[in-house]
Amino acid sequence: DSYKQTDAKFALLGARNVGKSAIAVRFLTKRFIGEYDSTQDSTYQFNSTIDDDQVNLEVLDPGPESVSEPSIGSRALWADGLLLVYSITDRKSFKVVQDLLQFIDPFKQKTVIIVIGNKSDLEHERQVSEGEGASLAEKLKCSFFECSASEGYQKVAEAFHELYREVIKRKKE
C-alpha cells in the first residue's frame, strides 16, 4: 500500500533566481546543487522528522514564476503553508514578495505564510537589510528567517520546521 497521508503541503513563491529550487533541494537532500532545471513546476513528496514526529510533506517548487493572480491563487489554495522567498542581494525580489501579498490575502485564514530572505552568505552584495525583512514579517504577523541555501542545512530546515508547526496549529484551530 503506497498511499500515505500528507501532513503538510508547502509551496515556495517569489521572483526568479532567489533560490527557491535551491531551498527546496537543500531541505529535501541536505545538499546544495548549484543549478536546477527551472522550466517547470516540481513537486517533492518526502518524509521528514520534525519535533520527533515522522511527517509526510509535499513541497511545490514553481518553475518560471508567474506572479499573476490566478497562478498565485491556485498555489495558495493548494498549500497549507507558503514560503515567500526573496534574495537579500536583490531589492526587486523583495518588492515582488510585497506585490504578491494582495493575491494571497483571500486565503489568509487557511494558509500560513513565512518570509524568507535567502542568500545570506552574500553579505557584501546585500541590498535588503535584515530589519526590513523583519518588519515586513511583523506587519504580516508571520515568522521571518534569513538563510543561505548554499551555506547550510540548519537554517533552511528551521524555517520549514517553524512553518510546519504553525500549519499544524492552524489546522487544530
| Contacting residues toward ligand GDP, per CB under 6 A | 16-22, 34-36, 38, 118-119, 121-122, 148-150
- Contact between 118 and Mg ion per CB under 5 A: no
Q: Which does 19 bind (CB under 5 to 8 A by kind): Mg ion, ligand GDP, none?
A: ligand GDP
Which CB sits closer to ligand GDP, 23 or 168?
A: 23
- Contact between 42 and Mg ion per CB under 5 A: no
Which CB sits closer to ligand GDP, 16 or 108?
A: 16
Q: Which residues does 136 contact at the CB level (< 8 Å), separation at least 6?
A: 94, 97, 98, 115, 144
Length of the chain: 173
Answer whether 5's CB lies under 8 Å from 44's CB. Answer: no
The Cα 148–Cα 166 span in angstroms is 22
Q: Which does 16 bind (CB under 5 to 8 A by kind): Mg ion, ligand GDP, none?
A: ligand GDP
Which CB sits closer to ligand GDP, 27 or 168?
A: 27
Answer whether 113's CB lies under 8 Å from 140's CB. Answer: yes
CB of 119 to ligand GDP, least distance (A): 4
φ and ψ at residue 8, rounded to 5 degrees: -155, 140
